[in-house]
Amino acid sequence: MKKFRFQLIALALVVSIFTLAACGGTATTTTTAAGGETTTAAPDESTDGSTDGGAAIKIGGIGPLTGAAAVYGNAVYNGSKIALEEINALGDLQFELNFQDDEHDGEKAVNAYNTLKDWGMQILNGTVTTTPANSVTPEAFADRIFTLTPSASSPTVVEGKDNVFQLCFSDLNQGIAAAQYIADNKLGEKIAIIYNNADAYSTGIYEKFVSEAEAKGLEIVSTTTFTDETNDFTVQLTEAQNNGADLLFLPIYYQPASLVLSQAQAMSYETKVFGVDGMDGILTLENFDTTLAEGVMLLTPFVADATDERTVSFVEKYKEQFDEVPNQFAADGYDVMYALYEAAKKAGVTADMSAEEINDKLIEVFTSDDFSFDGLTGSGMTWSDTGEVSKEPKGMVIENGAYVGM
């Protein structure tokens, strides 16, 4: 009897350990990163370039290539690769990219960072997600390696670090922009919010949204939460419905959002839905019934079916090479490489400079008044001294399964 009880307790312990591991959103294997897959400058092409004798500036990348968050890491990596090919083909400055897997885990991200440092990284393109970024950016700050993150959006990523910059909106700006957008366009008065309280991204947007919404006179009638592993949202939706919400604000990623939408429909609950950039991707979700997302509004910096020349060419290349429609993260990765390219050109960075020299030059360019960058995710981007980007969010609404500008 005693022995049996002991066994059960041991089992309970094992389960709790297992649960913790699962909460980390990991899928562990000793993945030998996709590094090494580098594109080096084509030395035989005797264009004017090669002032550095074919030497390339070494750019390190860190992001989740496996595990639950792999979709973001792979998108950034793929987008960066496309930009890399284009940049190297321009023949001006040569870049080399070494992208390491962090499995969306802070500790592994630091290991990846150290691997890259040994490799001789001069600039960091990363990390893709916020949690690893919080572990890696202090290191990059101490080592004086210039860092431009494609998509780690929490304000904590750049806070107090003069050489860390964001290409994406910070969560603060998104929360504020969403509240302003809803108030200015009178999209709803009674607002229900469902957010993921296990996620820094979702919580960050939620907090700013609430304070701005109050200032704008919007009434928040229901606030409910969930965590990464939740798949039943009936309670959250019932509460929103009972409190008479006329607009549902979802500062969450598109996977849970797709469940929220399908369960709302199953409950016959009709409401306006407003999302943030994490909602982007819902239309490209394979086999997703897009009628569920009809009328969903969101703020996003990148739309794959935009008709400008650059986006069209990017989407075409991406589809050709990776057989899928690029999401916002892919565009972020692409833009990071180009922003680094333009800034490096402007600063006169060459491959033989030390990481610290490059760092100082790039900081100067990024914070200077006359540097602005046009990319896929916005035009006229400028950066503040704190490292946050300033660009205009685009309001989009889904009609007949496609994004339409509002």
* Interaction of residue 13 with another protein, rule CB under 8 A: no
* Interaction of residue 28 with another protein, rule CB under 8 A: yes
Q: Which residues pair with 240 in a beta bridge?
A: none
How many angstroms separate the CA atoms of 136 and 69, rounded? 17
Please identify which residue in 34, 42, 55, 71 interacts with another protein, judged by CB under 8 A.
Answer: 71
Question: Coil, helix or strand for 195?
Answer: strand
**CB closer to another protein, 290 vs 372:** 290
Please identify which residue in 48, 286, 320, 385 interacts with another protein, judged by CB under 8 A.
Answer: 286
Q: Are 103 and 28 in contact (CB under 8 A)?
A: yes
- Give the contact letters, 227-246, x = binds to another protein (CB under 8 A), - = no: x-x-xx-xxx-xx--x----
Contact range with another protein by CB under 8 A, out of 13-21, 155-163, 206-214, 390-398: 13-21
* Interaction of residue 305 with another protein, rule CB under 8 A: no
User: Closest approach of Cβ 195 to another protein, in Å?
Assistant: 10
**CB closer to another protein, 15 vs 90:** 15
Side-chain-facing half-sphere of 401: CA atoms under 13 Å: 8
- Give the contact letters, 47-66, x = binds to another protein (CB under 8 A), - = no: -------------------x
How many angstroms separate the CA atoms of 234 and 240, rounded? 10
Contact range with another protein by CB under 8 A, out of 286-294, 306-314, 335-343, 359-367: 286-294
Q: Are 231 and 223 in contact (CB under 8 A)?
A: no
How many angstroms separate the CA atoms of 251 and 285, rounded? 18
Positions 316 through 335 that interact with another protein (CB under 8 A)? 324
**CB closer to another protein, 16 vs 185:** 16
Q: For residue 87, which of 348, 341, 352, 349 has the smallest C-alpha distance?
A: 341
* Interaction of residue 225 with another protein, rule CB under 8 A: yes
User: Closest approach of Cβ 267 to another protein, in Å?
Assistant: 7
Tokens of 396: 């989009």
How many angstroms separate the CA atoms of 205 and 405, rounded? 22
**CB closer to another protein, 4 vs 53:** 4
Q: For residue 271, which of 188, 202, 206, 213 has the smallest C-alpha distance?
A: 188
Q: Are 247 and 275 in contact (CB under 8 A)?
A: no
User: Closest approach of Cβ 41 to another protein, in Å?
Assistant: 30
Q: For residue 68, which of 255, 234, 221, 279 has the smallest C-alpha distance?
A: 255
**322's torsion region: left (phi>0), alpha (psi -120 to 50) or beta?**
alpha
**CB closer to another protein, 77 vs 366:** 77
Q: Which residues pair with 402 in a beta bridge?
A: 399
Contact range with another protein by CB under 8 A, out of 167-175, 184-192, 266-274, 333-341: 266-274
Polymer length in residues for the chain: 406
Q: Which residues bind another protein (CB under 8 A)?
A: 1, 3-5, 8-9, 11-12, 14-16, 18-19, 22, 25, 27-29, 66-68, 70-71, 74, 197, 224-227, 229, 231-232, 234-236, 238-239, 242, 255, 258-259, 262, 266-268, 284-289, 324
